[in-house]
Structure 1
Amino acid sequence: MNTINDTLATWADSERLCDATTAATILTEDFIGIGPVGFQLPKGPWLQRLSDGQLHYEELSLDELAIREYSDSAVAVARVNTLGTARGNPLPTTRTAFHLVRADGEWLIAGIQHSFIAGAPGSPVPAPQPEGGR
């Protein structure tokens, strides 16, 4: 029996290492992933992006983690700090929401949604200016 934190740590490790085999064990069959620019991928193509050679991580870590648990489901929101490239483009640091479900006593990820953080590394969105500032 794993915990939500265990599942998220396994996700971070499998993502950073581009390990589709391990990632497949923690995603639900009907998983959906949404990238920071709005693309949407079901489980198969999401895993394929880990093994097609187009994704390279030097670093990936989670912080600012907040978890809300509801019986057999949970929402976890974290800052995902990355250094690397996807199809030759720099990977952004994102605010990421994970939807987790408990199945047979194990926490699995049913959905992931990445969103740009204005002003964060790799974001095309500039940091907001203080009100009245230039």
Structure 2
Amino acid sequence: MTTDTIRELRQAFDDAELRADTERLEALLADDFVSIGEQGFSLDKRQWIERHADFGYLSLETTELDVRRYDRAAIVRCVQRSRATWRGETMTLTVRLSQVWVELPDGWRLAGIQFSPYAPA
């Protein structure tokens, strides 16, 4: 497994998010996945997938991508700019984002995401 493969998985995750492809998200996320939002709230795997009932991306752009590969884990850090709708309201957001990918017996899965407020350097 190379960092290129992690980059491909990260892109597959973004694509699934953009299309609200809940089946693909189900396959990409670890069973014990947790997301921590920029306001400190957390969502487990089921909550993350089900949020697509009220939430949808209009656009999603990732920049400043940095992938660090470890034995059976990888950490992805980037800046994400998005436009989305939440319960009919449009919102625009720029965040710093960290993802933790882990190698499990059935392949690589996204175990966690943490969003942080973006303050350009």
Shared fold by TM > 0.5? yes
Quote the Cα distance in structure 2 between the aligned partners of 1:9 and 1:98: 12
How far, CA to CA, are the matches of 1:43 and 1:81 in structure 2? 22
Cα RMSD between the aligned structures? 2.0
Correspondence 1:56 to 2:56: yes
Corresponding residue SS for 2:16: helix
Q: What residue ranges of structure 1 are gaps of 5+ in the alignment? A: 120-127, 129-134
CA separation of 1:24/1:105 partners in 2, compared to 1, >3 Å: closer, same or farther? closer
After superposition, the C-alpha distances for 1:68-93 in whole angstroms (9 at most, x for unaligned) are 11110111101111112223251411
The correspondence of residues 27-38 of structure 1 with structure 2, limited to 5 A, is 27-38=29-40
Task: Determine the C-alpha separation between the residues in 1 that align with 2:75 and 2:85.
Answer: 27
* Amino acid aligned to 2:85: T
Code of the aligned partner of 2:83: L
Structure 1 equivalent of residue 91 of structure 2 = 90
The answer to whether the Cα contact below 8 Å between 1:68 and 1:76 also exists between their aligned partners in 2 is yes
Q: Distance between the aligned counterparts of 2:9 and 2:72, measured in 1?
A: 14
Query: Superposition pairs for residues 4-15 of structure 1, below 5 Å?
Result: 4-15=6-17
- The structure where helix makes up a greater share of residues is 2
Larger Cα-atom Rg: 1
For the 8 Å contact 2:83–2:90, the answer to whether it is kept is: no
- Structure 1 runs, 4 residues or longer, greater than 4 Å off: none
The separation in 2 between residues aligned to 1:35 and 1:86, in whole angstroms, is: 14
TM-score by length of 1: 0.79
Q: Name the one with the larger strand percent.
A: 2
Q: Which residue of 2 aligns with 1:44?
A: 46
Count of residues in correspondence between the two structures: 118
Q: Decide which of 10, 15, 18 is 1:16's aligned counterpart.
A: 18
Long gaps (5+) in structure 2? none
* 1:102-134 CA-partner distances (Å, limit 9, x unpaired): 123622100001112137xxxxxxxx9xxxxxx
TM-score of the superposed pair, with normalisation by structure 2: 0.87
